[in-house]
Chain A
Amino acid sequence: MKSFDYVRPATVAEAVVASMTPGAAYLASGTNLLDLMKTGAARPDRLVDISRLPGLDRIERLADGGLRIGALVRNADLAHDPDFYRACPAVAEALLSGASAQLRNAATVGGNLLQKTRCAYFYDPFSACNRREPGSGCDALQGENRLHAVLGWSPSCIAVHPSDFCVPLVALDAVVEIEGKGGRREIALEALHRLPGDAPQRETLLEPGDLVTALRLPAEAAAFARHARYLKLRERTSYAFAVVSAAAALDMADGRIRQARLALGGVAAKPWRARAAEESLAGATPGQETFRRAAEMALADAQPSGDNGFKIELARRIVGRTLALAAAGTPQRLPALPGSPFSSHPGAQP
């Protein structure tokens, strides 16, 4: 690991200043950053330890009915908060379907949003990767690319964003609060991650010094709490990244869908909101035909980027299954294997 300077500022304002130095990176728990530093894929000159900044580790109910989640709240603490499960069950399910218990105990909310792709060529400094080293090429294009993107990719980069958490968050219109050199601002989570285009190294809209301080869920998210699920297909039933995943949240009344939210994971360089599919569901009667049509629309623009054409049909099926499970109702308690289509828990049966 390359050597680095370590500083631990006492306030958010000091942290922003400390990270304006070229080569600086924020350190929260480091579950992703340290891994990247060990392979040499990340080589920061300075770590700005934000793990003890005051006030960023709270889950707050806002006056307007929304929720604010501090960037330093641990993934496990958020997922196991009973009030949070009642308000945003698909988000809790997504969190608990990711990583392992000891990683979730350490990893933070802000770190989850900003985790890097798990593309093996990005991780390996001896491979060509435009995302890590602009202009070097993309070894994934001709390499092991079964798990790579089928939506929004470009010839310069076919990597996917690995977060489960972000998928239902994007569906529920989550907002990211940012502190930067120009003060405080906020952006929709859906706009935070960029598609690669010809500049995959610009992964997010964040500027040097920008610190994610909180995540906000609007009060409207509560309307979907009774019919919300996250499903994730992976190569083993636990402790693996998504091959494809989907978050579905339905606002239902009198046997019909009033409004729907749908997003996909594991398919693109960002969590993928499927708005056309959502519109097709509004006002519809839930059923296999309705869900299959929505799934077709969600994947209408999908194209294989390598040996991964199978992901397109898998994604259609996981969308259909997630919608069906959401329509059946949020379980009182999460199944033993959160996000798994193979769980033996009755709440997860199709």
Chain B
Amino acid sequence: MSFPISLTVNGVRRNIELDDPRVTLLDLLRERLDLPGTKKGCDRGQCGACAVLIDGRRVNSCLALAVAHDGAAITTIEGVAHGEELHPVQAAFIAHEGFQCGFCTPGQIMSALGLIGEGQAGDDPERVREGMSGNLCRCSAYAGIVEAVLEAQQKLADANRRDAA
């Protein structure tokens, strides 16, 4: 049996014939849509390396069945930069050394984008740490990650204010 689904991935509409309902969104992205930026860490919803935005919300793609997300808009790390220009969150991760080996970084950045969009953490480092606790970093770059998220959030807020003015 096959399951036709349609996803908007990084702004591009993709029509997909799923031959098996077991395919997770993570495996679909990596193995079938040639988007390996989203990482498979634990594949059990414990590490956060596979975080993507589904309709703007951060979610672990390893615990999402692709077939159940027919019609959704997915943003992955490949869809974050504007051409060669890094997104402010990406730039802040580099500036603050919010990574070492880089394996967890796509998930960290997608989760940071989600966190900033949720608007719950404000400029409180403790709230940022709590809000990012679903993304493990085995190089333990946590201090840089928190700084990067706080700075990127501030820059995005400043840019929004300039746009509004």
Q: How far is the CB of B135 from chain A (nearest CB, A)?
A: 8
Nearest-neighbor residue (CB-CB) of B128 within chain A: A336
A4 engages B21 (CB within 8 Å): yes
Is there a chain A Cβ closer than 8 Å to B41's Cβ?
A: no
Residue of A nearest to B1 (CB): A5
Chain B residue numbers with a CB within 8 Å of A34 are 24, 45, 62-65
Q: Name A29's contact: one of B48, B64, B120, B129 (CB within 8 Å).
A: B64
Query: If A3-B22, A30-B68, A34-B63 touch, does A103 touch B120 (CB 8 Å cutoff)?
Result: no
A336 & B130 in contact (Cβ 8 Å cutoff): yes
Residues on A with C-beta less than 8 A from B97 are none
Main secondary structure of the interface of B (DSSP, over half): mixed
B58 adjacent to chain A (CB < 8 Å):
yes
Q: Which residue of B lies closest to A27 (CB)?
A: B68
Whether B131 pairs with A101 at a CB distance below 8 angstroms is yes
Stretch from B9-17, B110-118, B147-155, B157-165 at the A interface = B110-118
Interface string of A293-337 (1 = CB under 8 A from B): 000000000000000000000000000000000000000000011
Q: Which of B81-117 contact A (CB under 8 A)?
A: 111, 114-115
A6 to B51, CA, bound (A): 24
Sorting the interface of chain B by its residue count into under 10, 10 to 19, 20 to 34 or 35 or more gives 35 or more
Q: Which residues of A contact B134 (CB under 8 A)?
A: 99-103, 239
Partner of B3, one of A6, A38, A76: A6
Please name the residue on chain B nearest to A104 by beta carbon. Answer: B134
| Contact A101-B126, Cβ < 8 Å, known A1-B22, A80-B120, A238-B133 | no
- A contact residues around B32 at 8 Å (CB): none
Interchain nearest-CB distance for A6 vs B (Å): 4
Q: Are B60 and A337 in contact (CB under 8 A)?
A: no
- B33-65: CB near A (< 8 Å → 1, else 0) gives 000000000011100100100000111101111
* B46 vs chain A, min Cβ distance (A): 9
Q: Which residues of A contact B127 (CB under 8 A)?
A: 336
User: Is the Cβ of B133 less than 8 Å from the Cβ of A336?
Assistant: no
CB nearest neighbor in A for B21: A6
Given A31-B45, A35-B45, residue A106 in contact with residue B126 (CB < 8 A): no
Q: B-facing mask of A20-52, CB < 8 A → 1, else 0? A: 000000010111001100100000000101010
Q: State how many angstroms separate the Cβ of A29 from the closest Cβ of chain B.
A: 7
How distant is A82 from chain B, measured CB to nearest CB, in Å?
Answer: 12
| B133 CB, min distance to chain A CBs, angstroms | 4
Closest to A336 in B: B126
Q: What chain B residues lie within 8 Å of A30 (beta carbons)?
A: 63-65, 68
> Is A349 among interface residues, defined by CB-CB distance under 8 A?
no
Among A6, A31, A34, A100, find the residue whose CB has the most chain B CB atoms closer than 10 A.
Answer: A100
Listed from nearest, the 10 A-B pairs whose CB atoms lie closest are: A100-B134, A6-B21, A238-B133, A336-B126, A239-B133, A102-B58, A105-B57, A336-B127, A106-B59, A31-B63
What are 30 A-B interface contacts by the 8 Å CB criterion?
Answer: A1-B22, A6-B3, A6-B21, A6-B67, A8-B68, A27-B65, A29-B63, A29-B64, A30-B64, A30-B65, A31-B63, A34-B62, A34-B64, A47-B65, A51-B68, A76-B57, A80-B118, A101-B58, A101-B114, A101-B115, A101-B133, A102-B48, A102-B60, A106-B60, A106-B64, A239-B133, A336-B124, A336-B127, A336-B130, A337-B130
